[in-house]
Structure 1
Amino acid sequence: MTQMSNPDDSRFEKGREALARIDGEAGQKVVDALKDIAPDFARLLIEFPFGDIYTRPGLDLRSREVATIAALTALGTAAPQLKVHIAAGLNVGLSREEIVETIMQMAVYAGFPAALNGLFVAKEVFAARGV
């Protein structure tokens, strides 16, 4: 009997490849940290955002990371995720200046506290990466 492949396997593989290319080790650490508490959520995290959304043709990875950094900054409550995506922005070719300007832009729409928090997260990522 031939075993049918799970239709989500291609989404998972595409997502895993995109996660590695975009977030590198940081993304895999998040997935690994979920394995003992919510392995199904870890799989969803790979399949949906990275397998379905990040691999769409409408935006390049730089543009997707600008949007993600802006959204996470505006939330004001997602510092760990913002840290991962600032590093991802650097991985896909964003400059320090582009990241800082994106975060500063959020002061207009999300307020100064959100932008300040984002800038301090960026400062931490830049220091860790030697940028």
Structure 2
Amino acid sequence: MRSKNMIPQDITLSRLEQGKRALAAIDGSAGEGVIDALADIAPDFARYLLEFPFGDIYSRPGLDLRAREIATIAALTAMGNCAPQLRVHIQAGLNVGLTREEIVEIVMQMAVYAGFPAALNGLFVAKALFNQA
């Protein structure tokens, strides 16, 4: 059974169009901002970003969008050097139904596996985003 919090794959759409649909549902204007920022330097990379992560991976039926954003927030936090991308995905997590409390717990969990500095950096990204709302 497909969750309502999933991007239905539409075989009539190109990978690019499927990716645009998924990006809009997940990231809203933050995702569009990333794509727009690449237009003058690497438009092909922007297309790849739409086609592969969003058109192919995020649109798969195996996980709902909440679960995908939990995994993404955890991975970006653990990497420790992805503050801009973490910010976009924390906002995406909120867009797909994660609460602030859940996001804080996800980031704190990464202290166990990625260390306190990575978790601290992630918490400060979350705090800055939450304070803007």
Taking structure 2 as the reference length, the TM-score comes to 0.90
Alignment of 1:27-106 (within 5 A): 27-106=31-110
RMSD: 0.7
Letter in 2 for 1:92: V
Taking structure 1 as the reference length, the TM-score comes to 0.91
- The offset of 1:125, in angstroms, is 1.0
Question: Are 1:21 and 2:22 counterparts?
Answer: no
CA offsets 1:74-110 (integer angstroms, 9 cap, x no match) = 0000000000000000000000111000000000000
* Aligned-partner Cα distance in 2 for 1:128–1:42: 27
* Aligned-partner Cα distance in 1 for 2:18–2:65: 14
Bigger radius of gyration: 1
Gaps of 5+ in 1: 1-8
Gaps of 5+ in 2: 1-12
- The offset of 1:19, in angstroms, is 0.3
Letter in 2 for 1:27: G
* Aligned-partner Cα distance in 2 for 1:56–1:127: 33
Counting helix residues as a fraction of each chain, which structure ranks higher? Answer: 1
* Aligned-partner Cα distance in 2 for 1:60–1:98: 16
Match of 1:11 in 2: 15
Question: Are 1:128 and 2:111 counterparts?
Answer: no
Moved over 4 A (4+): none
